[in-house]
Structure 1
Amino acid sequence: MNERDSLLPGQPRAARKTHLQSFKWLITTGWQINLLLAFVPLSFISHFLHLNDKLVFIFSFLAIIPLAKLLGDATEQVALKLGDTLGGLLNASFGNAVELIVGIVALTQGQLRIVQTSMLGSILSNLLLVLGMSFFAGGISYNESEFQQTAAQASASVMTLSCITLIIPAAYESSFGKTYDGEHDGLLIISRGTALLLLLIYAGYLYFQLKTHAHLFDAASDDEEEEPEMNATAACIALLVVTVITSFCADYLVGTIDTVAQEWHLPKSFIGLILLPLVANAAEHVTSVWMASKGKMPLAIGVSIGSSIQIAVCLLPLLLVTGWIIGQPLTLFFNNFETVSLFVSVLLVALIVQDGKSNWLEGAMLVHTETRLTFFASDNHHQQTQNGQQPQRRILQESFRIYTIDLQCVAYLSGLDSPHFPSPDKDGLDDIERRVRDEFNSLIVLPSDLDSITRLDQAHDAYGTLVRWSAMVQDTGYGTEMYMSTSANDKCLVYGANQDEDVQFNSDANDLTRIRERTNVYAVQIPGDNRRGVADSTQLPTGPAHKFPLEGVDDKLGVLLKLYDNDLASSLRPATNYDFVGILGKSALPRTLDSIEESAVDEQIVPALHILYSQPCLNKESKQVEEKNVLTDLVQWLKDAVFDGDQIAAYYLVLALVSKTQTRKSGSPIGTFPITLSYPQSQSTQQAKVIEAVKALTNLSVHLPLSIDTLNKRRLYPHSVGEDLHSGALQLSPSTVLLLDERVLGQGTLKDTGVRNVHSIQSVIQSQRLEYNFPFSSFAFDTDLIPVVLTDDSKSIIPGTTHIPLSANADKVLGELAIPKHVELWREFILQSRSKTITIPDNISDLIQQSFVDERQAHKQAGLSGEGTSTDDLGRRITMARLLASLDDHDKHELNNEHWELITGLEKERLARGV
């Protein structure tokens, strides 16, 4: 036996390789591939010089190919010095290190689909391309190759088990619906539990392979023991250095995927399924095929199937657990095409290896399957481009390509020319609305999947195309309408298709079956949306001005929604935000009875959106803020830049911004924190700086000046004029910050409309409910607004808020405000804090109770009048303490003593100002 330079004590040592000899061997072995190492410095340079993202992508892509080979060689050299068991364990752990590095980088950047598709692509690439080419090369050289049947079947069984575990989340999603925001907890639980079980299975598989049944896999080893070419120290150094460099290059690569996908018109699924597995396994692929051509088929099978097992049963679950730890909602749910592709691939491989023999035809079958999958991933996008489509319509075309029921309708909705398609069968359109909607919904796995669809407010000449739109429901009272599902020559008319076709109706039985029903709902662009840029405008008709809540807004886009889903239509409520996806068309706004009687009133044509998909548009953070002391920096900026050194006002404003209705008790909201900021008297007419500050720190905010003239002439609450619901400035979506500016109130008398307006404002502040006024009745709907009242030294006309007199120079809290560059971090931090759930430990509960008793006793012993700290004061402090606890670091969810002491101090200082 040859002696080796071992890392294990007690083992003999061969002539030790020098560091120079070790690194020379590492670089010169496979020097053809290592020539690509020249792209490593280019990757770093292009990144730090902020060159074009496409160059960064290309350089990083080419740099990772040789780095993956060096990583594999270094791992193998370290494994040779650890002995059979530890060496095998190290090979199993680092066998797919590049895939793991790329996956972790993509996970930390929130690229969840890239994580999923790159893992799936690596599995399919190893099972189909590598194994197929190995079988083909071995079959050409030796006609028929043999391998250890039992070991191959055991590996195939583990792959089959992992495939089954990926079908379970798909079955769950199919049974229980979509997976968004708060509604996908069940899928996360299933995925995370399955990941833990898969990791246990992988540990058992390693024990099976390395210990109990190691003899089954011995055939996959060379007859002669391999001699190490690097000394232990050099091998470990190389492994560490190459891993670090690879992680940087992977970070640069993943960071440019969005730009490359958009500018090169490449679907992210193609990048994940094809390109990333290729760059990570190029050297390994070549090695496997070369071994098969030399008659070492067991080694080739060990490389391909073993690598697939490690990715499916170890890397993917490990990444899911990592996402669980860092707060990324990665799941094991793949879309239908990906799930079926994996299942078919595993089934095909299991059938091929069961006889322990291989030939070139079996290899060609596997390569053909991989080629078809590659063709689908690329051809789908190519077909869209060839037909004049924008890449953003990829999702819809994927959905409708599989439909053959009504090819005219399918082709229209997909943007394809279809003069050669036959007419549908008589019953071809039965329930097609639901089938088309369900098939489209099955393609939406994560909220980010909608990003590939053109936004309505950025679309030009978008009629007849697929668009998405974030909107607020304004009026659900238009009811249903009847429409013809097919034209006179049997062309499909659902979802706005073929609107120019002749529609004729006869009263016979056949024509009656063509009549369908849909619901009309009016929606407007989200009022006070600070995320919407100035450039986000459209040439579409804006709709009636009285349907939009705010005045003084030029772009008041309103759209008539055509709903084909009765459940969705019945669930929509006014003043709620949704993301809608549908086919854009035109429609006459439904006329009321009053307008029909007035012959002079013409029909008003407005944009219409035929809804295929919808989901609640929640005002939540897009990424987790893990930085420390964010609250301290935010309060410091508000104190210095907005409130002229008033730290008390800064704290109270931040607490108000993170408040929301947690629950309702006897109709009263729990968790809200409306405040009033009382400004010093000033002759200046400049705007308060806090208005711009709130706009910068929140996604949704509305500044509403409350002058006597505005209150008396403009209805701030929604009200019906005939059968048409007119909007009001208080009809705002949840979590909108409502800045009620009394500083412009002036002198005067409130009339009937003014009194009603003040009553509506009080109802919103005190009970978080807004009444919709109709001729003979009124209905109150729940709201969840964040009221911030601005007043001068005079008393506010709006009671029920926490009053904070400002201690600042009158002129320094007014005027323009410079917004820092990192304000986006603060905005995400506020959104994250609003979504936190805070608990109060028993010891803190006892502390709060005791402090309340102590304060009341101290007040009584001092002989002061009144009861001192009231139960209302206690309730306010508890609310404030919860809000302050939610502003703590992201991983803290409990109220503690420091929070309570700070709130107690803030309240005492506020009361000391003579409130």
Structure 2
Amino acid sequence: MVSSVLVDALSDPTRALLELYDANQDIDTFPARVAAHFGDIFASKDAFSEIPSLHIIDPTHNDRCLVSFRAMIQDTSPSPEMYLAKRSGGRCGGWGMADDGLEDGLNYSDLRENAVVWAVSVPAESSWVAAELGPGSHVSGLRPPVPESHPHKFPCAGQPHLGVQVKVYDRVDSLQSTDVVTMVGILTMEPMTAELESPNAVPVPTLHVLFSRPLPLTIAPRVFPYYPVVSTFPALRDELVSWIADEGLAGDKDAAEWVLLSIIAKVQSRTPALLPPSLTISRFPPPSAQSLAPSLSTVLSHLLPIVVTLPLSLDVLNNSSFAPESKNEDLHSGRLQIPRGSVCVVTEGGVTEGGVFDRGIMNLRALQEMMTGQTLEYIFPFSRFAFKTDVAFLILSEGKKSTFFQTNINVPLQPNIGELYKAAEKVKMPPAETLALFRDLVGGAKIGSVTIGETVAEYIQEDFVAERKAAPTPAEAVTSDDLIHRMMIARLFTLSMHQSEVSIDIWERVKTLEAARKTRLTAVGGTTK
């Protein structure tokens, strides 16, 4: 049986808001009561699915309807807005309700502050995410129902998206740049707060938030370890590695192993720094046609919620911005302003002979600093602020190593069979049930954590000492940095097996994997360090 409260909130959210206010007219606690009340109404998945998505609603013909919006917060720099929390006659204020009768004058004690931010469709969100989140969710890349008025605020230039002005009344400091959240609120068309005094101000979709839900790093919920099939995970993992290799890396399973470990990495700690290792797949030939994206990007987009492909070229480097930059008090997005948990595939094959100028050098530096320190500087007229990121990077390079970047791991590609570039529809897909398990494996590993027990720690220490003693020369001996690197890889390998503790067997497998990588590097004349 459908609740009448649910029906009323869906059909006339403004009236539901007014009725809630009339029950207790405390304007200081009202925003929190609104969030709790509407959050409770739509707490169940079935109830939430009844809310229409903003992606399919035309705000010019649906004034003050209830909508949901899964979005990335792009700009938190607009100044807060003052609103009249209590209108004339003691009526509820805020949430876009104008007061057209202030006969008794303005009572300044009834003014309150809300936060104003700009939010955009989740950049590079994979098409399967909406289906997995269930009814009421829609693909962020759908062409918006109204023309986009501020395209410079979206990281993926030229892609269909929706930009929305968002007004937050409860927990006004809760939203941070690149957060991915689902917001539910009342939709209006209003000029941007920052442009109210401009005679050329254009009304934009504006969402007055009733409540919001933060989304996890994986967007779609995942668990670690995944108990229903944990006993079969070794075979499932092998199948996943084979699929990545066959469809994305021309059959190179060793390279696919490193790709899997790279895409499940995340920031574990900033002090001390335990950051995602950046990976270069070297000896990766460029496409025959510049319009083709690597098949690896397509494969990863079927596994991960957000995969950004950044094809480097002289034009991209010299004529676009990788870091967000404020111009005339308006934050323009950069190509690297992407959500935490994203995977960024950077291709170097499009860079031809020519000059890299000041803008290009700044872009390369921003990308390197993001890989190395997981921060991205936002550029303002008189200052720069470093914002924390959590993005895994894969560099595809034609040479022995990356042309532009220092990465933690370099794996020369050794293709066997298959193509490295093909149309997305030509990628052979596993059965739907298997693909769902692949996503559970990858997503669960992304949020998991592992430990190293005392027995294994002692084994690793003794193994390290023995290996140093066995080295032919001091220059060839493993170093403490090598040990730290192996331990990081062992943790990732353990996560990929959906196990919670590093084992001696996994440690030995990691040593074998690392030895094979160094053999490849030696074969192509690259450094093994």
| Structure 1 residue aligned with 2:212 | 614
Matched to 2:449, the amino acid is: T
Q: Is the 8 A contact 1:469 1:581 kept in 2?
A: yes
> What is the aligned partner in structure 2 of residue 471 from structure 1?
71
Distance in 2 separating the partners of 1:730 and 1:683: 23
Q: Hey, what's the Cα distance between the residues in 1 that align with 2:215 and 2:476?
A: 46
> Measured at CA, do residues 874 and 540 of structure 1 come closer, stay the same or move farther in structure 2, by a change above 3 Å?
same
Q: Tell which structure's C-alpha radius of gyration is larger.
A: 1
* Alpha-carbon distance between aligned partners in 2 of 1:504 and 1:811, rounded to the nearest angstrom: 72
Residue 440 of structure 1: how far off its partner (Å): 2.5
Please name the residue that 1:405 is paired with: 22
1:608 and 1:681, CA in 2 relative to 1: closer, same or farther beyond 3 A? closer
The 5 A counterparts of 1:873-912 are: 873-889=482-498, 892-912=499-519
- Mapping of 1:319-718 within 5 angstroms? 377=3, 384=7, 393=10, 403=20, 405=22, 431-443=29-41, 445=43, 450-460=48-58, 461-485=61-85, 492-497=92-97, 499=98, 503-505=100-102, 508=105, 511-530=107-126, 531-532=129-130, 533=139, 536-553=142-159, 555-565=160-170, 568-591=171-194, 602-620=200-218, 621-622=220-221, 625=226, 626-627=228-229, 628=232, 629-666=235-272, 668=273, 670-681=274-285, 684-685=288-289, 686-718=292-324
Native 8 Å contact 1:380 1:398 kept in 2: no
Q: Does 1:818 align with 2:425?
A: no
Checking the alignment, whether the CA contact within 8 Å between 2:75 and 2:117 is kept in structure 1 is yes
Q: Tell me, what secondary structure is at the counterpart of 2:355? A: coil
CA deviation vs aligned residue, 1:110-150 (integer Å, no higher than 9, x gap): xxxxxxxxxxxxxxxxxxxxxxxxxxxxxxxxxxxxxxxxx
User: Residues 656 and 675 of structure 1 are in contact (CA less than 8 Å); yes or no, is this contact kept in structure 2?
Assistant: yes
Distance 1:801-1:544 versus aligned 2 partners, 3 A rule = same
Residue among 429, 446, 449 paired with 1:837: 449
Deviation string for 1:620-672 (max 9, x for gaps)? 45365432132111012122232222111110011011100011125x3x041
Cα separation, 1, equivalents of 2:200 and 2:394: 42
Q: In the aligned structure 1, how far is the partner of 2:43 from the partner of 2:26?
A: 28
Matched, 1:854 2:463: no
- Which segments of 5 or more consecutive residues in structure 1 lack a partner in the other structure? 1-265, 268-376, 407-424
The residue identity in structure 1 corresponding to 2:80 is T
* 2:133 match: none
The 1-side partners of 2:94 and 2:416 are apart by 63
- Who is 1:118 aligned against? none
1:466/1:539 Cα in 2 relative to 1: closer, same or farther (>3 Å)? same
Which residue number in structure 2 is paired with residue 801 of structure 1?
A: 408
SS at structure 1 position matched to 2:95: helix
Q: Distance in 2 between matches of 1:683 and 1:514?
A: 63
Could you say what secondary structure the match of 2:520 adopts? coil
CA distance in 2, matches of 1:534, 1:517: 30
Task: Output the CA distance in 2 between the equivalents of 1:403 and 1:680.
Answer: 61
Superposition CA RMSD, Å = 2.9
Would the alpha carbon gap of residues 485 and 681 (structure 1) be closer, same or farther in structure 2, given more than 3 Å must change? closer
SS at match of 2:209: strand
Deviations 1:764-789 (A, max 9, x none): 10000000111111010110001111
Is the contact made by 1:711 and 1:753 (CA closer than 8 Å) also made in structure 2? yes
- The aligned counterpart of 2:370 is 764
Distance change >3 Å, CA 882–CA 671, structure 1 → 2: farther
User: Counterpart of 1:515 in structure 2: which amino acid?
Assistant: L
For 1:458-494, what per-residue CA distance to the aligned partner results, in whole angstroms no more than 9, with x for missing partners? 3354431221111111111111122334556765442
Give the letter for the 1:676 counterpart: T
Please say if residues 675 and 803 of structure 1, whose CA atoms lie closer than 8 Å, have aligned partners that are also in contact. Answer: yes
Report if aligned partners of 1:518, 1:564 keep a CA contact under 8 Å in 2: yes
1:682 shift after superposition: 5.4
For 2:27 and 2:452, locate their aligned partners in 1 and report how far apart those are by CA, in whole Å. 57
Q: How does 1:251-330 map to 2 (within 5 A)?
A: 266-267=1-2
Q: Which amino acid aligns with 1:393?
A: L
Q: What pairs with 1:60-209 in structure 2 (closer than 5 Å)? A: none
Give the match's secondary structure for 1:496: coil
| Contact kept? 2:85, 2:92, Cα under 8 Å | yes
3-state SS, counterpart of residue 494 of structure 1: coil
* More off after superposition, 634-643 vs 623-632: 623-632
Q: Is the 8 A contact 1:541 1:607 kept in 2?
A: no
Note the C-alpha offset of 1:839: 1.1
Q: What are the residue-to-residue correspondences of 1:33-72 with 2, within 5 Å? A: none
> Structure 1 residue 742 and structure 2 residue 348: aligned?
yes
Q: Which residue of 2 aligns with 1:54?
A: none
Deviation at 1:819, TM superposition (A): 2.4
Structure 1 residues 665 and 404, CA, compared in 2 at 3 Å: closer, same or farther? closer
SS in 1 for 2:149: coil
User: Deviations 1:470-526 (Å, cap 9, x if unpaired)?
Assistant: 1111111111122334556765442124x5xx6254684x64344332221111111
Aligned length: 494
Q: Is the 8 A contact 2:75 2:177 kept in 1?
A: yes
Kindly indicate whether the alpha-carbon contact (under 8 Å) linking 1:838 and 1:895 is maintained by their aligned counterparts in 2.
Answer: yes
The offset of 1:673, in angstroms, is 2.0
Corresponding residue to 1:827 among 428, 439, 454: 439
Amino acid across the alignment from 1:581: V
Matched AA of 1:714: S
Structure 1 residues 402 and 505: alpha-carbon distance in aligned structure 2, compared to 1, 3 A threshold:
closer
Aligned residues of 2:375 and 2:387 also touching (Cα < 8 A): yes
1:781 pairs with 2:387: yes
Structure 2: tracts of 5 or more residues without a match: 131-138
Separation in structure 2 between the aligned mates of residue 754 and residue 485 of structure 1, nearest angstrom: 48
Deviation readout 1:730-752 (Å, 9 max, x if unpaired)? 01110100111111112222211
**Partner residue of 2:135?**
none
Amino acid at match of 1:405: D
Q: 1:557 to 1:454 in 2, by over 3 A?
A: same
Q: Structure 1 residues 869, 722: closer, same or farther in 2, change over 3 A?
A: same
**C-alpha separation in 2, matches of 1:535 and 1:760:** 26
Using the aligned pairs only, state the percent identity.
28
CA drift at 1:825: 2.2
Shift of 1:431: 4.9
Contact 1:405 1:428 in 2 (8 A): no
The AA in structure 2 aligned to 1:590 is T
CA 1:471–1:683: 2 relative to 1, 3 Å: closer
Secondary structure class of the residue paired with 1:579: strand
